[in-house]
Amino acid sequence: IAGITQAPTSQILAAGRRMTLRCTQDMRHNAMYWYRQDLGLGLRLIHYSNTAGTTGKGEVPDGYSVSRANTDDFPLTLASAVPSQTSVYFCASSERALGGQFFGPGTRLTVL
Amino acid sequence: GQNIDQPTEMTATEGAIVQINCTYQTSGFNGLFWYQQHAGEAPTFLSYNVLDGLEEKGRFSSFLSRSKGYSYLLLKELQMKDSASYLCAVRDGDYKLSFGAGTTVTVRA
């Protein structure tokens, strides 16, 4: 693994289903982030974690949850997917909260 | 929330110069970032300004005026591979990044 990986690359999901997007980084970065990107709206922060064991809410947290059990992994869970959660999801990390962020390749999620 | 504005689209000719402006209003300020994003790919870091003035990095330069809430990204000697979306992002007082909607630059031969 080099940098940040996300899985799956893309997914089509029925409304009401539960889904977990995975994110793993091997740079030993302390801070990790989840964004969604929608046409015309840019990147919006969903949740973040400044260090393992802590998480915080971003601009659009409703309908999403995260956990940070260790430094490397930061999964994003949609408990009951809705069509408005159709988006491209990017995971990012930075060495610390003040650092520049590096982005994963993204997950394209479609909720029908 | 934060308010970050940048033009939606710009077009320029190969070899030319393009300046992408970004204005912002945020609660607190801890730096401004520019990212490049090619279609279907992840954003990649271009530049970072925390103090007023110009930061130059090869063909790309970024300027910041904190008193005016203004930044620009200058792309010189444009190449076809520079066709991409350019994202302005501001780190606020809580150290979270807020992004503008992005400026799509099209470079024509």
* pLDDT confidence of residue A1: 52
Quick one: what percent of chain B has pLDDT higher than 90? Answer: 84
Is residue B73 scored above 90 in pLDDT? yes
* pLDDT confidence of residue A41: 83
Cβ distance of A104 and B42 shorter than 8 Å: yes
Quick one: what percent of chain A has pLDDT higher than 90? Answer: 87
Quick one: what percent of chain A has pLDDT higher than 70? Answer: 96
Cβ distance of B101 and A41 shorter than 8 Å: yes
Instruction: State pLDDT tens for residues A56-79.
Output: 999 999 999 999 999 999 999 999
The pLDDT-based confidence of B1 (bands split at 50, 70, 90) is low
Which chain B residues have a beta carbon less than 8 Å from that of A100? Answer: 33, 45, 48
Instruction: State pLDDT tens for residues B16-67.
Output: 999 999 999 988 888 999 999 999 999 999 999 999 999 998 999 999 999 9
C-alpha to C-alpha distances, A89 to A40, B15, B19, nearest whole angstrom: 15, 34, 29
Q: Which of A50 and A89 is assigned the larger pLDDT? A: A89
A and B: number of Cβ contacts within 8 A: 43
Chain A 14-33, residues with CB within 8 Å of chain B CB atoms: 33
Judged by a CB distance cut-off of 8 A, whether residue B41 touches chain A is yes
The pLDDT-based confidence of B68 (bands split at 50, 70, 90) is very high
* pLDDT confidence of residue A97: 66
Is residue B7 scored above 80 in pLDDT? yes
Shortest alpha-carbon distance between residue B108 and chain A (Å): 23
Mean pLDDT of chain B: 94
* pLDDT confidence of residue B94: 72
Please name which of B106, B109, B108 lies closest in space to residue B84, comparing C-alpha atoms: B106
* CA–CA gap between residue A10 and residue B59 (Å, rounded): 34
Instruction: Specify the 3-state DSSP secondary structure of B83.
Output: coil
* pLDDT confidence of residue B26: 85
Preferred mutation among A41, A101, A107, A108 to probe B, highest tally of B CBs within 10 A: A101
Nearest CA in chain B to A97: B95
* CA–CA gap between residue A27 and residue A2 (Å, rounded): 8
Helix intervals (H) in chain B? none
* CA–CA gap between residue A106 and residue B22 (Å, rounded): 25
Q: Which of B94 and B76 is assigned the larger pLDDT? A: B76
Preferred mutation among A35, A43, A49 to probe B, highest tally of B CBs within 10 A: A43
Nearest CA in chain A to B86: A42
